[in-house]
Amino acid sequence: MAAPAALLVGCSSTRDEIKLQPALSHPERDPSADLKLAASALASGNVELAETLYNKVLAAKPHSFEARLGLADTRYLAGDFERARVLYGEALAAKPGESGAQLGLARVALRQRRLSEAQGLYRQLLAKDPGNAAASEGLGTSLDLEGRHGEAEAVYREGLRVHPDEHGLRVDLGLSLVLAGRPREGVNVLLDVTGLTDAPWQARADLAFAYGVLGNTDSAKKILSLELPPSAVDDNLQLYRVVRERLGAHAATAAAPAAAVLPASAGASPGMPGVAAAQAEASQ
């Protein structure tokens, strides 16, 4: 019976030794996991969660390029363009020539209507990567905002040559044609996109704009009424009338800044082309 007793003593001793071992602390969460979660949150539109996670990573790793760039994206989407500009600048300083940070700066410049600066940044991106669809959209939009529709259309067409299925480029081309006083051509281009089952709302919005400029108010109203309240429908129909009158008076260049809309790639919210801008233009 001595042997079993000895074994029991040994087991008890072993258990005591195990209990006396200091508990290991839980390892820190891998920042890469938070970065992935933040990117998913940002892609799904949860800007607040994404910002919280990016700030968490930066608190642990102040020099994280990915977190700083992601935080800049959250500020951009929140409409805090000046803070986004600073963060994109810091990211670009950490990695000179990095395309994501450079694209962010270009988008901010476009939204702040610093068009020459935006064009310079977009051209730099296209010089490095001629197939950069987002840069093509941004450059074309900046040219449209200056009334340089022929140049803008050349940019869009070149982008479509490389990316024939890029909806954003085709939508922008259609809108540019409308602003250039060629609404029928614009309608035909936009119909190529709106006929798709996954057509973005911006394409339908621009098609309504094109119909409105053509004077086809009924078709424009039908499209608008699917997404907007009656008051917003009326505002947009009024915009179309203003632009139609300007184009009819051979003032397409004057009308373009009032009607132009940023592409989705530039961070524009889905909606109709510049109602407030057109109202300001009409009141001058």
Q: Are residues 137 and 75 in the same domain?
A: no
Q: Is residue 113 domain-shared with residue 136, that is, in the same domain?
A: no
Instruction: Name residue, tokens 């039908």.
Output: 222
Check whether residue 59 and residue 145 sit in a common domain. Answer: no
116 and 164 belong to one structural domain? no
Alpha-carbon gap, residue 71 to 84, rounded angstroms: 8
Residues 77 and 102 in one domain: yes
- Chain position carrying tokens 């994109």: 88
The mean per-residue pLDDT over the stretch 198-213 comes to 90
Whether 197 and 265 map to the same domain: the answer is yes
Residue 17 placed within a domain: no
Number of compact structural domains in the chain: 2
Q: What residue numbers bound the domain in which 119 lies? A: 34-124
145-155 per-position pLDDT tens digit: 999 999 999 99
Q: Do 148 and 275 share a domain, yes or no?
A: yes
Closest by Cα among 142, 144, 192 to 166? 192
CATH number at residue 114: 1.25.40.10
The closest of 252, 280, 257 to 145, measured between CA atoms, is: 257
Does 262 have pLDDT greater than 50?
no
Beta-carbon contacts of residue 134 (< 8 Å; ≥ 6 apart)? 103, 265
Three-class SS of residue 254?
helix
* Confidence at 82, pLDDT banded by 50, 70, 90: very high
Residues 135 and 270 in one domain: yes
In a domain, 192, yes or no: yes
Q: For residues 47 and 45, give the distance between their C-alpha atoms in angstroms, rounded to a whole number.
A: 6
Amino acid type, 143 = L
Query: Is residue 70 scored above 80 in pLDDT?
Result: yes
Given 97, 124, 151, the domain boundary residue is: 124
What is the pLDDT, as a whole number, of residue 31?
Answer: 76
Cα dihedral value 254, 256, 258, 259, nearest 10: 150
pLDDT at 264: 37
212 & 155 share domain: yes
The answer to the question of residue 7 being in a domain is: no
Domain boundary among 124, 139, 170: 124
Confirm whether pTM is higher than 0.85: no
